[in-house]
Amino acid sequence: MRLFVLGLVVLVACQRTDDKKITTKPAAGSGQGSGSAATAPAKPEQIAPPVDLNTPPFDAVKTSSGLIYKKLSSLDGSIKPKRNDTVLINYTGWRQSTGETFFTNRGKGQPMPLPLSNTAPGFTEAMQLIGKGEKAMLWLPPNIGYKGAPQAGTTAETLVYEVEVVEIMQAPAVPAQLVPPAKPEATKSGIPYVVVTPGTGKDKVRNFDTVTFNYSAWDKDGRMFDSTEMRKRPAIVPPYRQAQAMEEVLTQMVGGERVRTWIPSEKLTQGGKSLNGMPDGLLTYEIEVITIEKGKEPPPTPSDVAKPPSDTKKSPKGVFYKVLKQGKGGPHPQVREKDADTVTVNYTGWSTEGRMFDSSVVKGEPATFALNGVIMGWTDVLPLMSVGDRFRIWVPEDLAYKGAIGRQQGMLVFEIELLEIKPLPAVEAEDPKAAVAAGKQPAPSDVAAPPADAKKSPRGVFYKILKPVPGAAHPSPTARVKVQYTGWTTDGQMFDSSRTRGEPYDTLLKNVIAGWQDGIPQIGVGEQARLWIPKELAYPDGGGPQGMLVFDIELVEIKPQ
């Protein structure tokens, strides 16, 4: 499932590794979960199947899709799930070709949740035939047994499951209208909506308020592809962090109101790029505002946001800047060959269309970061500032987030006020203890390449658990996590670290680089791991350090959303 909530943009806005972007238990029938050994434990318990895997019983039922199922136990009048429901199941999966058990939750002590809207088509079909309390065997041929293609290096094959339905969590009803009515209300850009339940509040949401809201979303065929109501965790986020279409709808609403809106998928973009995995076509959302927390008003959009005016200056690498306020002078932050000073700033960022995409002012808390851990445009212009200076800068796309998934694209405009400089003390390179004390993190001995005992995640991130915690909880695909991390290039150069900033990094997993998206779910709370992330899962199109990247990560917390 995919949240439409567009999460935090930089340590804010400008931290390079904020891009770093599922379960530890595989999702049945996913083709990259139970359909593949990639996300299963290295040596799952081997369980003898209750029937012959190669020859289904004579009384098994075969459907038109090729699914074969045989109920092992039946209950008269048992309630059956619908295709958008989530079922809690106990299950074991075998490869028909070898008889290998590739996953089981036997002995885990609790059933696994399975959203039927997000599984392989054969599994979705089968589960609607099995009632609560019933148990069945399933044979899923390759054409319906995988969600997407099998993982690279594996062969599509028939998968066999023993499944028991323990509980059914009913999804919100599919709206009667999956297209707008004849005369809906509309936002300023023409997004249609109707009020389902009138609100009780008086004040409309502002784009910088923090809004707690629930939503459910369906594609053009009525398949629910996301729902905070099913997760029982509402979204809590300012509207400006949403796709612009969602921002427009939310800012028409008051507390307690529920609306239904219809949005073409191409209008649900993040940073100017379409969201990966978003269904095509017209999408239907129902949104309900629960509470509104008044935010701190950001600076007004600059009148010259569209392009640098003629009186701007230019930094060495090509950032346009204008001095709005001068401080009392003094030292400038320094960027050295292998490290940099840490700075504290207040900032607000806009696209050249004038849409705010991030602001420490709204958050009410300045941002602190190492100067070599931000976009190149910031690294280039901040050394021109002294404490107390306030600049407006226009950062060309190639010095910002060009091509980076989930980042604002195009030229970016920021107003930045430098509040503090924390110089990095000089240290001797051969003194690792002094380096750590100064905020530097020595590169690990195996930084150059993943060692032979490293495991591999579904999409190709090599990882090694450095500090295991038996039974630790792992994040889900939509989790918000808090981590401590340090990143190096394979030549041992540290390029970013939350530890040097003195605080963990808090982010939604879907808003980081693909290598983090794939690697962090392999880490439990309290565990420490080392990841080797190939370039194609890091910054393949620029916008960050190039080549394979190495991260030491400690998962501090899985946070509620």
439-484 per-position pLDDT tens digit:
457 788 888 888 888 898 878 899 999 998 888 888 876 688 999 9
Residue 125 or 513, more confident:
125
- Does pTM top 0.85 for this prediction? no
Statement: residue 18 has pLDDT above 60: no
523 neighbors 466 (Cβ within 8 angstroms)? no
Which residues does residue 551 pair with via DSSP β-bridges, in sequence order?
Answer: 487, 531
390 neighbors 332 (Cβ within 8 angstroms)? no
% of the chain residues with pLDDT over 90: 55
Task: Report the chain's mean pLDDT, rounded to a whole number.
Answer: 84
CA distances from 535 to 61, 139, 460 (A): 47, 38, 11
Mean pLDDT within 205-210: 94
Residue 62 or 435, more confident:
62
Read off the pLDDT band of 31 (50, 70, 90).
very low
CA–CA separation, 20 and 448 (whole Å): 19
153 burial class (0-12, 13-18, 19+ CB within 10 angstroms)?
exposed
**CATH numbers and ranges of domains, the chain:** 61-169 (3.10.50.40), 185-293 (3.10.50.40), 313-422 (3.10.50.40), 430-559 (3.10.50.40)
Mean pLDDT within 332-348: 87
Catalytic residue among 391, 463, 495, 505: 495
Catalytic residue among 523, 551, 552, 553: 551
Identify each DSSP E strand in 457-512 by its residue range: 462-467, 480-489, 494-497, 505-508
513 noted as active-site residue: yes
Statement: residue 501 has pLDDT above 80: no
Catalytic residue among 485, 523, 533, 553: 485
Write out the two tokens for 332: 């400038």
144 noted as active-site residue: no
Mean pLDDT within 237-243: 90
Task: Give the pLDDT score at 42.
Answer: 53
Write out the two tokens for 278: 């978003």
485 noted as active-site residue: yes
Catalytic residue among 91, 539, 553, 558: 539
539 noted as active-site residue: yes
496 noted as active-site residue: yes
Catalytic residue among 375, 513, 523, 553: 513
Of 286, 268, 256, the C-alpha closest to 194 is 286
551 noted as active-site residue: yes
Catalytic residue among 226, 341, 358, 496: 496
